[in-house]
Structure formats: C-alpha cells, structure tokens
Amino acid sequence: MEVLHPTVFHSSPPKLISNVPKHLDSTIGPNLEKSDVVAIKLHMGEEGNARYIRPTVVRTIADWLREMGTEPFVTDSTTLYKRKRGTLFDYLRTARRHGFTAETMGCPVLIADGIKSNGVPVEVDEHLKLDSVGVAPLIYEADAIVSLSHVTFHPDVLPAAGLKNLAMGCTDKAAKMRMHASDAKPRFDREKCTGCGACVRHCPADAIELVDGKASFIPENCVSCAECIAFCNYGAVRVNWSSLSRDVCRGVIDAVRAVKSTFEPGKLAFMNLGYDVTEECDCGGGSNRPVIADFGCLTGLDPVAVDSATADMINSTEVYPGGPLSGSAEVADRMSLLKPDVDWKSFLGMAEEHKIGRADYEIKTI
C-alpha cells in the first residue's frame, strides 16, 4: 500500500494576498462547517518591532472565513515576560498600535487567555515534560484554528514557526513557565553587576532581588526563561543555552499535543509566512535585518510537515544581502550556524516520534 506524504502548499512571495483563499480552500476549507468559531492565531508584534505579520494578510484570512459562513476572531495569548503584551490590556493597546482592531480586521480581536491567564487543564499521556497543559480558554472553546506564523529564528526552538506558535501562543502563563523551567539556571557575576535592576523588573518568577546594590539570585524560584539575560546590558548574567533549549523543546512538544487534542482532525491549518525572516523572534523590540530573502507562504494540515518544509526553505533560499548570513550562502545548515545550541533536527524528530505529524512532505505550488 502506497504511503502518501503530507501535502504542503507553497506560494511565491508576490502572490501572498491573492493566494491566501487558495491556501485555505486546499487545507482547512473542506472541514469547516457554517457557524464554526475559528481562531486566527498570530503574534501581533512586540512594541518597537516592525517585522510582524502585516494586518492586511490577517484581514484577508478573516474575510475568507466570514465568506465561508464561520465566525472568526483574531487572537494571541499574553506573554510570560514583562514588556508590552504581558497583560490583556497591554496586549490590546499594542495590537491597536500595530493595526489589529475589530474595525481593521472585520472581526473581534480577543486575548485568548483572558485577564488572569487561567487555562483549561488538558492532560498529556506519555508526556516528555508536562503531564498537564493549561490551554487558553478561547483556544479551547474554538471549533477550528488557523495558526498563522511569522517564520523567524529563536534561541530555544527552531524553526520558530507552526509548532512553537501553537505551543507557546495558545497556552496560559503557568504552562509557559513550565515549558521554560529547566535545570539550566543562570549564573550571576556580581563584579559585572551595576545594580540597575533591569533583571529584577523583568523576571516573571520573582527569582532575583537587589541586595546591597547587586542582583541576588533565588534559584528555587527560577523558571529558566532567560529574560534576565535578555535585559542585562553588562554581561553579568549567563546561562547554559544548549541545556535550556533541549528542555524547552520537550515542553513545546507536550503543549502542542495538548492544544492539538482539543480540535477535531482537519480543523487546524498551519500557515507559515516566510517574509522578513529575522535572526530573533518578534518578541524583541528591535527590527533586525532579515537573514534570508522572502520565500513566500507554506500551508498544510500537518504542522511537522509544514515546519520541515520551512526548515528546508530557510536552508535553501537566497541569503539576504548584508544580513547575518551574508557571506555564508553555501552553508547547508543555516539555523545551526546562527543558533548552534539549538538542535532543530532533534526537535522535529521528537514531534514526529510523538505522532504530532510527519517530517516528510510533498510540495504543491499554488
């Protein structure tokens, strides 16, 4: 009996808006029913970032879903870190500044985990790290989901695309903390510490305090999210990234399985946008130069297949002139070159092993 490869649909960069309906018709369209409530899940951009998904793309998806007779809403969950998406109110203000409102989208813009970020517990059988995951209530209650991911690099999970978007973006804060929790604790250098307090203000777990004008670490509170590293400008905080990445990836696999289990087969579409592919994710405040040229849109019902195709696109697409990979066009594994502590092949292998999807795929051009 012939084993069919999962199908991944691809459009070249100039045809994104016009081809969005074709991508959805080819994937989730046949499985939708009238009056289905459909979540359009995306990262609406952190404050100061200019390379998040364009609102016009999201509006095109919302329009198509309404024409299908469904009830769409645009959504994401609040962040673990303390910037401008950490609360429902901060996120809505940031989303509005970035062009995501009910008026511009033609449908509600809602924060999936609500005011207090209390998720619906979903048990995970034969888990790698998380025996239970708090799924954001509005994701749990939706009938279907379009997981719309801006492809980027990330210090823990590669490619930062469909699997990561579903795991970290569709769960509550407690699940995010447990995904990041690891034995890879940060190390503090008191001689380099200036006592600025940035690490204290941005730690989501109250694991740092100022004692005698220096950062003092409380390891039993630490969830290894690495926010202290991100906000220390003086090199006073370091962590074992490779150990952290492996552990985070195990938590991501469990979270994907939990979220995926709340939907009927065929009611999750994964759309990865290969535009402005940057070295860091959209949670950063800066707008880094792209790593590679735009490669277009990849869509399918199998998240492992879509992310595997995304990885292959990253490694084969022309590098961006003057970007971080400039001069490295012939490197076969670009993700490992820029993020050597992240074993992306093992991550996709774990996802396949735990039956989230298959890493092989067949590309069909739209």
CA-CA-CA-CA torsion for 201, 207, 210, 216, nearest 10 degrees?
Answer: -140
Question: What secondary structure does DSSP assign to 128-150, as a single string?
Answer: SS-SEEEE-HHHHH-SEEEEEEE
Span 237-274, pLDDT tens digits: 876 555 578 889 999 999 999 999 999 999 999 999 99
pLDDT at 241: 53
Using CA atoms, how far residue 88 sits from 146, 178, 286, 305, in Å, is 21, 21, 22, 33
183: confidence class by pLDDT, cuts 50, 70, 90:
low
Q: pTM higher than 0.85, yes or no?
A: yes
The span from the CA of 168 to the CA of 182, in Å, is: 16
Neighbouring residues of 343: CB distance < 8 A, sequence distance ≥ 6: 245, 246, 249
For 135, phi and psi rounded to 5 degrees? -85, 135
Which of 2-6, 240-244, 327-331 is the least confident region? 240-244
- Is pLDDT above 50 for 1? no
Q: Give the span between the Cα atoms of 81 and 201, in whole angstroms.
A: 10
Per-residue pLDDT tens for 304-316?
A: 999 999 999 999 9
Exposure string over 257-283, b if 16+ CB within 10 A, otherwise e:
bbbbebbeeebbbbbbbbbbbbbbbbb
Residue 349 pLDDT > 60, yes or no?
A: yes
195: left (phi over 0), alpha (psi -120 to 50) or beta: left
The pLDDT of residue 283 is 86
Find the angle CA(326)-CA(324)-CA(234) to the nearest 5 degrees: 145
Distance CA 78, CA 242 (A): 26
Q: How confident is the model at residue 9 (pLDDT cuts 50, 70, 90)?
A: very high
- 87 HSE (CA, 13 A, CB side): 4
Query: Which domains, from first to last, does the chain contain?
Result: 7-180+244-365 (3.40.50.11440), 187-238 (3.30.70.20)
pLDDT of residue 92 exceeding 90, the answer is yes
Q: 365: part of which helix (H) or strand (E)?
A: strand 362-365
**What is residue 263's three-state secondary structure?**
coil
Helices and strands (H and E) in the chain: how many = 13, 14
Rounded to 5 degrees, what angle do the CA atoms 103, 105, 108 make? 80
- Rounded to whole angstroms, the Cα distance separating 251 from 245 reads 10
Q: Give the tens place of pLDDT for each residue, 55-71.
A: 999 999 999 999 999 99
pLDDT in tens, 115-124: 999 999 999 9
Q: Is the pLDDT of residue 365 over 60?
A: yes
